[in-house]
Amino acid sequence: MAASGFFWVVLPSMLADVVDFDELEGGKRREGAFGSTLSYVLKLGTTVTLLAALALRRYPLTGATMNDIRARLEARRGEI
């Protein structure tokens, strides 16, 4: 949860500093390029997170399933 706050609050607030530094080093003001890149990265990260959450919903090994597997294994070979 804290990482999400970092990406949505801290990165955009650092953008102006990065743009100023880039202008000092490169001689051009490119805040549009930086802003669009940051927007793309944030959207891509959100998409990856949502896809991972959907994939985990389909993960078949729940706590109850694992307890059943453990009980069946212990019945087969004895308790570990």
| Phi, psi dihedrals of residue 58, rounded to the nearest 5° | -90, 0
Q: Write out the residue range of the structural domain in which residue 24 sits.
A: 2-77
Task: Compute the average pLDDT of residues 58-72.
Answer: 91
Q: What distance lies between CA 31 and its chain's CA centroid?
A: 25
Q: Where are the alpha helices (DSSP H) in the chain?
A: 2-5, 11-26, 31-57, 63-77
Q: What distance lies between CA 38 and its chain's CA centroid?
A: 15
DSSP classification of residue 59: -
pLDDT in tens, 14-30: 899 999 999 999 999 99
Mapped onto helix, strand or coil, the DSSP state of residue 1 is: coil
d(CA 46, CA 44): 5
**Residue 3's pLDDT band (cuts 50, 70, 90):** low
Q: How many domains does the chain have?
A: 1
